[in-house]
Structure 1
Amino acid sequence: MSTSQRESDSLATTARKAQKKANKNGNPISLPSKILAVHADPENAGAIYVAEAAGVVRQVVLETGEKSRTYTGPVAPVTCLAITPRTADNEAILFAGCWDKTIHSWSLHTRKPLRRYANGHADFVKCILTLSLSGTPILISGGADAAIIVWDVATGRKLHVLKGHLRGILDLAIDPTCLVPGQQQDEIMLFSASSDREIRRWRISLSSAEEMAAEPIVAHETSVNRILFEDATAGDDDMDADADVWTASSDKTVKHLVRSRSWEADTVLEHPDFVRDVVVDQEDGWVVTACRDEDVRVWSAASGEVACVYQGHYEEVTGLVLVRGEGGVGKRVVSVSIDGTVRVWSLDPEVIKRTSEEAKKAEEGVVEEDEVEEEKKGGGMLTAEEEAELAELMEDSD
């Protein structure tokens, strides 16, 4: 591509984004910097936490747009979030992975800075999660250095360092089939996704950690950005209840991997660009995806077809989270983006259907307008070359 072509494309992109920036789709809540991750508020269904490139973590109240609760300290972009719920013995803790190769933590309620988990990763921290093992709160982190580290939350001590991936760790997820509600967990099974396109499985306890399988799961052509387990207790007759896995990848697909078929994909959702995130509403059978093309797509899990495309963001969509409205009703999906906005989209079937129909009408209207313009310009007539060819054919027929 020539320099002039690149400059032309850049100007066109800038103009398109400037025009799109003014849209109010999804009732945008604007923040001061790029948003790199989102996490549900465990104590308020109407709020979320976001990780910003400016090194700030912020609570955002969706109905009012209020964002007064902030957590500061990092001097580099914050990439990922995790929250431990409040217990009878311990306060709730907010954790944030950072470009500075460490994990910061705060009291969720007082916003007081707590321990900083350092001297572990040699590169950016890309993903984190928390849980309890044998009654001990632990933190698990994955870094761009291809390492997975298991930390003791209370002491900051590294319990295990897991190696196996060849490139950066992009996501971590606990296999829910190893969890027994209401009982203490002494061991977990962890799935890790990487930019080496592999998904590896690990067995972890306080005293030991080992890889479970000789061969990793390879379902994608390139980076696996998200691993999401289905809820095995959902009990939805239309969807598997075996804790199968949805994966989002930079190979432009989202896949449903079936546990009983050795993680073979039975559903593939094709996208026009990298897929950054996926969330699933099992009750109503929706799969929602976030794409680098700036759109949020809602798919039917049963048919694998797009139900509607929510357009509003004007930069890459970086994360999604499901939330409920007042009284626990009215499911919605929240999207965050490099454009610095939080947007909320309905998962009501009627709204989805109406959005799809309006998009089709708008598209048809644009096509009709283009055809009219072509006719006005003589676009419906033959070109000089076509007229010459037709004349030759007519002469031959004579």
Structure 2
Amino acid sequence: MRLKRLLLRYYPPGIILEYVQGGEPKTRSIDLLDLSPDTDVMALVEEIRKGEPLITASCKEQVIHLVRRLQEKLGEKEDHKFYLFKVLRAHILPLTNVAFNKSGSRFITGSYDRTCKVWDTASGEELRTLEGHRNVVYAIAFNNPYGDKIATGSFDKTCKLWSTETGKCYHTFRGHTAEIVCLSFNLQSTLVATGSMDTTAKLWDIEKGEEAVTLSGHSAEIIALSFNTTGDRIITGSFDHTVAVWDVGTGRRLHTLIGHRGEISSAQFSWDCSLIVTGSMDKTCMLWNAMTGRHVATLTGHSDEILDVCFDYAGQRIATASADGSGRVYNAETKMCIAKIEGHQGEISKICFNPKGNRILTASSDKTARLWDAATGQCIQILEGHNDEIFSCAFNYKGNIIITGSKDNTCRIWR
């Protein structure tokens, strides 16, 4: 094994090793999820060297330098105020979804008008329209971190794979017998998963353009799915009140997470693949051990359905959004509620952390999106101007651009 170069990964903090083994170029990462501005860098680098043979004495200084840069980034004060940059009247019929590529240079919108549009974030220009579906384009995604492909899932029961650059349709994936309502790429960009009202999820091979495996076993529609970062597991959340954990290679069901007393609304792995968080219409959020499927904790406090849940990048905090108009932030280790997000006048349908994990963004039916301090729950900024409910919001990878999508048929770019 020969080390070629070391790269920084800011979110979540880590160092990527590019190396050659047996003539093959490979990469692996050293995750530094617990790094803080106070961490003893010298002691940490010694610890890294003990466990990583590629980090030799000759590159120790470089590793110290990289860790210090990560520390500086974590210690930077956050006082970015967002201003409305562009209003895009995107489609002739209502929007269904919006999504960024990793850098935030492009974003996509799906619509009831049966198309997906690709936009340039810097100029607000429409770059191309992806046409071909025969019904609502409901679920959309880039194959981040690469961003050279787009997947669209439709009520016409098909999923299409497109080139971001040319708009060419590479494949149309057929096999579902009802509407596709969620989809996701694995991080390795070899598979795209689709979840359907037909109670199954399917994994599709991007290279070959064919079905790799069908995940069967739920008794109601699948409305959430998420790969873990290593790509060997996927979870599916269903209206049958359960979440299933599957082996990606074989399609075998490894665990069924049973405990919720209402439909699942959201499910996600933590970055290090150790935990799964699930949100449900039963007003609770549950934490599970991802390896064993064991129930770890039930996070309570909401008085109405939980509509969205998410981890921060480091997997240290969990945020929940509820139809009761509030959000909650929980410490993933202690399971305690550390902040309440209160101020919206309507249900919160979407919640997400910025990449750094110190800010939270919410989208609400009260026509506003809001920015919050993740540690205190204090509202920092209200993003106003939409004239109907906001159903989607997202940060780009740097955390300095926000996109909001509304039922008023517009997207707004904030920067």
TM-score by length of 1: 0.64
Letter in 2 for 1:163: G
Number of aligned residue pairs: 291
**2:392 paired with 1:340:** no
Question: By how many angstroms is 1:53 displaced?
Answer: 1.7
Q: Going by fraction, where is strand more abundant, 1 or 2?
A: 2
Counterpart residue number, 2:114: 55
Relative distance call for 1:264 and 1:249 in structure 2 (3 A) is same
Match among 122, 146, 149 for residue 93 of structure 1: 149
Counterpart residue number, 2:197: 144
Counterpart residue number, 1:39: 99
For 1:219 and 1:106, the matched residues in 2 are separated by 33
Counterpart residue number, 2:311: 229
Counterpart residue number, 1:206: 249
Question: By how many angstroms is 1:313 displaced?
Answer: 0.8
Answer yes or no: is the 8 Å Cα contact 1:228–1:247 preserved in 2. yes
**2:338 paired with 1:279:** no
| CA-to-aligned-CA distance 1:270-319 (integer Å, 9 cap, x gap) | 54333222221152611001112211011111112322221111122121
Question: By how many angstroms is 1:132 displaced?
Answer: 6.2
Relative distance call for 1:201 and 1:302 in structure 2 (3 A) is farther
Match among 73, 77, 80 for residue 136 of structure 2: 77
Letter in 2 for 1:229: F
For 1:64 and 1:210, the matched residues in 2 are separated by 45
SS at match of 1:157: strand
Question: By how many angstroms is 1:334 displaced?
Answer: 0.9
| CA-to-aligned-CA distance 1:364-383 (integer Å, 9 cap, x gap) | xxxxxxxxxxxxxxxxxxxx
Question: By how many angstroms is 1:193 displaced?
Answer: 4.0
Match among 155, 158, 169 for residue 113 of structure 1: 169
| CA-to-aligned-CA distance 1:23-71 (integer Å, 9 cap, x gap) | x9553121233221111124x5332111122111111123322103221
Question: By how many angstroms is 1:259 displaced?
Answer: 4.1
For 2:185 and 2:368, the matched residues in 1 are separated by 30
Relative distance call for 1:100 and 1:247 in structure 2 (3 A) is farther
Relative distance call for 1:267 and 1:211 in structure 2 (3 A) is farther
For 1:132 and 1:143, the matched residues in 2 are separated by 21
**2:341 paired with 1:269:** yes
Max radius of gyration: which structure? Answer: 1
| CA-to-aligned-CA distance 1:123-167 (integer Å, 9 cap, x gap) | 32111011267xx82221122344332233324225032433x54
For 2:220 and 2:235, the matched residues in 1 are separated by 15
Counterpart residue number, 1:131: 186
RMSD of the alignment, in Å? 3.1
TM-score by length of 2: 0.61
- In the TM superposition, 1:342-361 aligns within 5 A as 342-346=411-415
Unaligned 5+ runs, structure 2:
1-82, 260-277, 284-304
Counterpart residue number, 1:373: none
Answer yes or no: is the 8 Å Cα contact 2:100–2:108 preserved in 1. yes
Answer yes or no: is the 8 Å Cα contact 1:219–1:265 preserved in 2. no
Letter in 2 for 1:341: T
Relative distance call for 1:228 and 1:111 in structure 2 (3 A) is same
Percent sequence identity over aligned pairs:
17
Unaligned 5+ runs, structure 1:
1-23, 180-184, 233-240, 347-398
SS at match of 2:333: helix
